């Protein structure tokens, strides 16, 4: 299967920006969080960027490529980190083939080109740009918040007993969704709708009248709308009308967007209770989300009481206006 190279390029770039698996920019961000983990090679790049361009002799100096798949200046991507990135890429693009030499060369070239830009940006001092500093700070804050949230939620789980209790409590809500096979006739005026209702009551075939007199796009199919669920109906009045009809019944006419409507329900399925096994996964997911939300909110309440915090509502224009008239 052929994979669009632009799509791979996008995801490679995405991994370089948001992954913490070794991209120089993200390494730079995480280094600001944990400065003690900086590597000598990365420090050397920053020092060279501050002092000026790297000399040709420094660039051309041979360096070991043992367990390194690509090297740009003093930045290197090890085979281990490369394998991690490939695994992450496969999660985003399941049909990516790490054995495909063309795809592998494309990825490596994308990484190499990006790193060339990164190192040139460092040499030019662009990492000292005010907007860049703000972006780094915001990215750092986001990583820290995500890490804390992950730590708070990692041990949360839902027990079998909790799932069963929720099922029993809300059992009446767990039903198979209704589906109807519906036909319609749509005419422009009320008099015509009345005439059609009379003909239907006298035994005329619904399909024949739909083909001859309906102005709806379904007329050519005898008014057949196919299988409908509640969310598929064109407007609420139609859904309400169909819901109260038994299979085989025809409605009176009612007003709608295109004129006056008459509908017939040919069949109906659904409404049966869903078994515990059918909804167990859904209930578990819902309960887990509730636990996670509660855990985050409770921790926020705790932090509000522990860490001084204040909002200047007056400066933001959020406080009620003060009447200064005497």
Q: For 258-275, write each residue's pLDDT tens digit.
A: 999 999 999 999 989 999
- Between CA 185 and CA 171 the distance in angstroms is 38
Residue 157 lies in a domain: no
Question: What is the structure's pLDDT at 251?
Answer: 96
Residue 225 belongs to domain spanning: 176-269
Tell whether 17 and 75 lie within a shared domain.
yes
Q: Compute the mean pLDDT over every residue in the chain, rounded to the nearest whole number.
A: 82
- Between CA 238 and CA 262 the distance in angstroms is 9
Tell whether 125 and 196 lie within a shared domain.
no
Say yes or no to pLDDT of 325 above 50. no
Say yes or no to pLDDT of 55 above 90. no
Question: What is the structure's pLDDT at 321?
Answer: 61
What is the mean pLDDT of the segment spanning 24-39?
39
Residue 183 lies in a domain: yes
Tokens of residue 1, six digits? 């299967």
Q: Is the pTM of this model over 0.75?
A: no
Greater pLDDT, 292 or 103? 292
Q: Could you identify the residue written with the tokens 């915090």? A: 309
Residue 65 lies in a domain: yes
Say yes or no to pLDDT of 213 above 60. yes
Tell whether 23 and 122 lie within a shared domain.
yes
Residue 225 lies in a domain: yes
Tell whether 11 and 109 lie within a shared domain.
yes
Tell whether 12 and 101 lie within a shared domain.
yes
- Between CA 181 and CA 25 the distance in angstroms is 57
Number of domains in the chain: 2
CATH of the domain at 187: 3.10.50.40
Contact 194, 253 (CB under 8 A): yes
Tell whether 120 and 15 lie within a shared domain.
yes
Q: Could you identify the residue written with the tokens 């960027």? A: 49
Tell whether 189 and 97 lie within a shared domain.
no
Q: For 227-236, write each residue's pLDDT tens digit.
A: 999 889 989 9
Cα→Cα distances 315→304, 310, 311, 322, 323, Å: 21, 12, 9, 13, 17
First to last CA, the chain: 79
Domain boundary among 129, 145, 167: 129
Residue 110 lies in a domain: yes
Lowest mean pLDDT among 57-71, 153-167, 228-242: 57-71
Domain boundary among 235, 269, 303: 269
What is the mean pLDDT of the segment spanning 233-258?
95
Residue 317 lies in a domain: no
- Between CA 297 and CA 168 the distance in angstroms is 27
DSSP assignment of 114-132 equals: HHHHHHHHHHTTGGGSHHH
Nearest of 23, 6, 8 to residue 117 by alpha carbon: 23
Residue 30 lies in a domain: yes
Residue 138 lies in a domain: no
DSSP assignment of 38-98 equals: --HHHHHHHHHHHH-SPPHHHHHS----TTEEEEETTEEEEHHHHHHHHHHHHHH-TT--T
- Between CA 148 and CA 296 the distance in angstroms is 10
Question: What is the structure's pLDDT at 284?
Answer: 96
Question: What is the structure's pLDDT at 294?
Answer: 96
Q: For 175-189, write each residue's pLDDT tens digit.
A: 999 999 999 999 999
Question: What is the structure's pLDDT at 4?
Answer: 53
- Between CA 119 and CA 111 the distance in angstroms is 12
Tell whether 183 and 123 lie within a shared domain.
no
Domain boundary among 129, 161, 194: 129
């Amino acid at each position: 299967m052929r994979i669009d190279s632009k799509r791979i390029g996008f995801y490679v770039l995405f991994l370089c920006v948001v992954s913490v698996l070794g991209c120089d920019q993200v390494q730079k961000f995480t280094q600001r969080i944990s400065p003690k983990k900086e590597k000598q090679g990365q420090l050397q790049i920053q020092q060279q960027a501050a002092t000026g361009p790297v000399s040709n002799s420094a660039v051309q100096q041979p360096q070991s490529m043992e367990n390194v798949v690509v090297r740009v200046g003093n930045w290197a991507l090890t085979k281990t980190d490369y394998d991690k990135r490939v695994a992450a890429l496969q999660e985003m693009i399941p049909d990516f083939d790490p054995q495909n030499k063309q795809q592998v060369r494309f990825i490596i070239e994308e990484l190499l080109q990006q790193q060339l830009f990164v190192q040139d940006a460092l040499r030019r001092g662009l990492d000292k740009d005010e907007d860049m500093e703000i972006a780094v700070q915001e990215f750092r804050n986001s990583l820290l918040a995500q890490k804390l949230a992950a730590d708070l939620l990692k041990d949360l789980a839902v027990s079998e007993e909790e799932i069963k209790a929720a099922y029993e409590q809300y059992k009446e809500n767990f039903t198979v969704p209704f589906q109807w096979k519906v036909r319609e006739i749509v005419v422009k005026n009320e008099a015509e709708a009345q005439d059609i209702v009379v003909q239907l009551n006298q035994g005329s075939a619904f399909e024949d009248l739909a083909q001859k007199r309906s102005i709806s796009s379904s007329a050519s199919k005898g008014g057949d709308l196919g299988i409908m669920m509640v969310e598929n109906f064109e407007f609420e009045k139609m859904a309400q009308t169909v819901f109260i009809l038994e299979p085989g019944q025809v409605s009176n006419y009612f007003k709608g967007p295109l004129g006056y409507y008459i509908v017939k329900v040919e069949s109906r399925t659904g409404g049966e209770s869903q078994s515990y096994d059918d909804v167990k996964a859904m209930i578990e997911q819902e309960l887990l989300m509730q636990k996670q939300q509660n855990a985050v909110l409770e921790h926020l309440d705790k932090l509000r009481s522990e860490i001084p915090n204040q909002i200047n509502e007056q400066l933001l224009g959020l406080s009620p206006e003060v009447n200064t008239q005497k």
